[in-house]
Amino acid sequence: MKITVIGSGHVGLVTGACFAELGHDVICVDHDKKKLQTLKDGKIPFYEPGLDKLVHANYIEGRLSFSGDTISAVLASEIIFICVGTPSRKTGEVDMSAIKKTASQIAQALNGYKLVVEKSTVPVETGEWILKTLKKQAPKGVEFDVASNPEFLREGAAIHDFMHPDRVIIGVSSQKAASYLVQLYSPLNAPILMTDIKSAELIKHASNSFLAMKISFANMLANLCEKTGADVVKVAKGIGLDKRIGEDFLKAGIGYGGSCFPKDVSAFIHIGKKSGCNFKLIEEVRNINEERRMHFIKRLEKVIGKFKGKTIAIWGLSFKPETDDTREAPATYIIKELIKRKVKNIRAFDPKTMDNMKKIFPNIIYSKCPYEAIKGADALLILTEWKDFSHPDLLKIKASLKKPIIADGRNIYDPQKMKRMGFSYIPIGRL
Ligand code: UGA
């Protein structure tokens, strides 16, 4: 099939490359000229494991191309995926300007039956709005359908998630739209759930909010474990083994970040309020998450004393491992707080994210390797659980730090072992 993907970010580029890999002709569109040039030069504008090879192979074989011209791309395609950004406004409401602009551009290029699919995460009823816009702005008599097909792609595992989904959600209002999308996704052999468009839209916001709720639940438990001497890792394991609950997304830590959960939780709260529903449950999910970073700082402060004049080493800057994404990363909040508390130096190391973090914090020190960051530091903070940090030379860390203090926001080490080795080890939700 001939496919256009509008918006070549983390979702659009993965979607386009994966459909090309499945044998379709895909045009990835973006308005950012610099990004397009990077892609045409065979480079990927962000780090996503395996994406460079997939994009390159499909580009060379001619199934994947890049364009800045939305109208020509839509004219040449049967299916159009909208993958543009839907950032948050200050109120939590979704900023729909990119969706609105894209819908108008698509309307101008409708020249025969086309299926317009929203993949961007959007508030319920957006599909209805797109349909009305297309009806108003498209040439008379031209046929089209609108569908919702939300994405469930985790950064760092996006290709795997695309190729091996737990489920594919298809929200449609016509048989023709359903058959196009079933044809597209059937090679993946995944369960397909067919719904109306509004339900499909809601499934996405509800999924991300539910996962965020599990994380905040684990973080709430972590606070209780710290007060009572229980171990949140064991408690999470114990509840997660119940198949009705499940073990995933119960890792306590310094809170969820990234470009999705914080934005989608806020959007869901806004949608709930606007509809006159009680969404206090989700508001509390957000409150618990926002308290995490300060809780972590305060736990460290109890051991280290005043931050003023201290040198703090940080391992991990991205919002999670296997990505170079700093959006809403807990590290950004923690660094801001440390600067506010007048630390003398922050020395950071991350395997992939330092260039992006330099744009936000140009004045902290970026180290060439994890051990360079800790030399003479008053404490080491672990803020992202990169594999690179799983089995370090603990004796070397102990010898390098001024005092052997490690605050571990991701619970990657065994607290008993750390204590035996003489560390002042500060994990989350365990002693
Ligand atoms: C999330 C969803 O998992 C995807 O299904 C969805 O498609 C995507 O948002 C999106 O809406 O586009 P992502 O934000 O890439 O994916 O990453 P996750 O793996 O979900 O992690 C989100 C945050 O939760 C990270 O900061 C992570 O450290 C944190 N987390 C995750 C925890 O603190 N504890 C856990 O147990 C799991």
5-53 residue pLDDT tens: 999 999 999 999 999 999 999 999 999 999 999 999 999 999 999 999 9
Q: Are residues 160 and 248 in the same domain?
A: no
Nearest ligand 1 atom to alpha carbon 161: 5
- Asked if residue 235 and residue 172 are part of one domain, the reply reads no
In degrees to the nearest 10, what's the CA dihedral of 366, 372, 373, 379? -170
> 64, 63, 105: which is closest to 84 by C-alpha?
105
- 186 plus 283 within the same structural domain: no
Question: How large is the angle between the packed helices 197-228 and 232-240, nearest 10 degrees?
Answer: 140
The residue among 171, 195, 219 that closes a domain is 195
> For the chain, what percent of residues have pLDDT higher than 70?
100
**Domain harbouring 147, CATH code:** 3.40.50.720
Q: How many domains does the chain fold into? A: 2
Return mean pLDDT, the chain: 97
Q: Are residues 27 and 77 in the same domain?
A: yes
Answer yes or no: do 187 and 242 share one domain. Answer: no
Say if ligand 1 is within 6 A of residue 256 CB.
yes
User: Which of 264, 297, 263 minimizes the C-alpha distance to 383?
Assistant: 297
Domain identity same for 178 and 291:
no
150 touches ligand 1 (CB under 6 Å): no
Rounded to the nearest whole angstrom, what is the distance from the C-alpha of residue 215 to the centroid of ligand 1? 10
Between helices 126-137 and 197-228, what is the axis angle to 10°? 150
pLDDT value, residue 173: 96
What is the residue with the minimal CA distance to atom 34 of ligand 1?
A: 251
Q: Which residues are designated catalytic?
A: 260
Whether the CB of 371 sits within 6 Å of ligand 1: no
Query: Does 353 map to a domain?
Result: yes
Question: pLDDT tens-digit profile of 127-175?
Answer: 999 999 999 999 999 999 999 999 999 999 999 999 999 999 999 999 9
For residue 358 the two structure tokens come to 């330099």
Distances (CA, A) of 395 to 172, 303, 370, 399: 59, 20, 14, 6
Structure tokens at 112: 């025969």
With respect to residue 328, please indicate whether it lies within any of the assigned structural domains. Answer: yes
Residue nearest to atom 6 of ligand 1 (CA): 152
> How confident is residue 190, by pLDDT bands cut at 50, 70 and 90?
very high
Say yes or no: 183 and 137 in one domain. Answer: yes
Mean local confidence (pLDDT), 172-199: 98
Of the three residues 147, 178, 195, the one that is the final residue of a domain is: 195
413 and 335 in one domain? Answer: yes
Q: What is the bridge-based pairing of β-strands 114-118 and 79-82?
A: parallel
Instruction: Look at residue 286 and tell me if it is in a domain.
Output: yes
Kind plus residue range of the DSSP H or E element containing 121? none
**How many angstroms does the Cα of residue 397 sit away from the middle of ligand 1?**
30
Tell me, yes or no, whether 339 and 409 share the same domain.
Answer: yes
Final residue before a domain boundary, out of 195, 223, 241: 195
Residue 221 lies in a domain: no
Question: Domain range holding 353?
Answer: 231-426
In a domain, 290, yes or no: yes
Through-space distance between the first and last CA atoms of the chain, rounded to whole angstroms: 56
Measured from the Cα of 254, ligand 1's closest atom is 33
Q: Is residue 398 part of a domain?
A: yes
pLDDT digits (tens, 9 = 90+) for 257-310: 999 999 999 999 999 999 999 999 999 999 999 999 999 999 999 999 999 999
Atom of ligand 1 nearest to the CA of 330: 26
pLDDT at 225: 98
pLDDT in the model for residue 353: 98
Identify whether the C-beta of residue 425 lies closer than 8 Å to the C-beta of residue 413. Answer: yes
Q: What is the CA radius of gyration of the chain?
A: 23
The pLDDT of residue 62 is 97
Q: With a 6 A CB cut-off, is 154 part of the ligand 1 pocket? A: yes
Residues 241 and 109 occupy one common structural domain: no
Q: Is 370 in the pocket of ligand 1 (CB under 6 A)?
A: no
351-404 residue pLDDT tens:
999 999 999 999 999 999 999 999 999 999 999 999 999 999 999 999 999 999
Whether 278 is in a domain gets the answer: yes
The answer on 397 and 285 residing in a single domain is yes
Between the CA of 373 and the centroid of ligand 1 the distance, in Å, is: 27
Classify residue 296: in a domain, yes or no. Answer: yes
For the segment 67-117, what is each residue's pLDDT rounded down to a tens digit? 999 999 999 999 999 999 999 999 999 999 999 999 999 999 999 999 999
**287 and 141 in one domain?**
no
